[in-house]
Structure 1
Amino acid sequence: MLLKNWKEFKSAFFHIVIADYLFIWQFLFPISLATVILCAVYFTRTILETNPYYVYNEALDMYSITADSNILPAYSNVINFMAIAVVSSILLNTVSVIKLKLMTQNLSTIERNLLFSTIASSVIQCAAAGNTACLGYF
């Protein structure tokens, strides 16, 4: 099908791409949200099974977490989940930073803020992952 003018192209583009995009995301958004929740629950279920609870320590004026059973084996699942989450986040953040840097037009304020928040969240996640890995393996 050859399009004769721009108006015809815009109409065809909307009917093919935009309408399908909206329909797909009405279906995929709840599924992706459920997938994220189920993955987090699956990898952290071993901690929930140990019945953790808070205990207040009056001498130190702080709360600590204890459990009815040994909680250390449960951390292996959490460390694996955190590693997968952080690595995927770093990859996606790197791709978004590269995409924003390669844009030839001037960046708007929103895009600059997005770039800054992406870099900041990536640094924070790397620090948290490093801290967790040090506590888990050393």
Structure 2
Amino acid sequence: MIIVYGLKQPLISRKAAIMQAIFDCLHLQLGIPARKHALRFIGLEPEDFYYPEGRSENFTVIEINLMQGRTEETKKRLIKTLFCELEQRIGLSPIDVEITIKEQPSHCWGFRGMTGDEANDLAYDIHR
């Protein structure tokens, strides 16, 4: 699951481009096939989103949930690639983007009627 949130109005017109950038970066850096993660957008009203001082109304938060296994270097490359792609494709300044990777052991994941540690047919390697 990937969650993207920010102020509702600036986020509305960028959803498709942000989604594509995220999926492209996951594919490039983690080898995950396109659209293999659920992605949810949460647009907040100004009174419900107090972003850090020094950021603009474009401030966007991206939370990426992954099964444990990727190296520190792989995760850092993913984050840096996302910053770059979001700036080049959408014009989102890196100062206005916050990215968090949350990892859980594979046995804590459930999909297609099994736990992640039972899945032996993934089209990508989580240990890279």
- Fold shared by both chains (TM-score > 0.5): no
Higher relative contact order (CA 8 A, sep 6+): 2
With the length of structure 2 as denominator, give the TM-score of the two structures: 0.23
| Structure with greater strand percent | 2
The alignment's TM-score, normalised by the length of structure 1, stands at: 0.22
More helix by share: 1
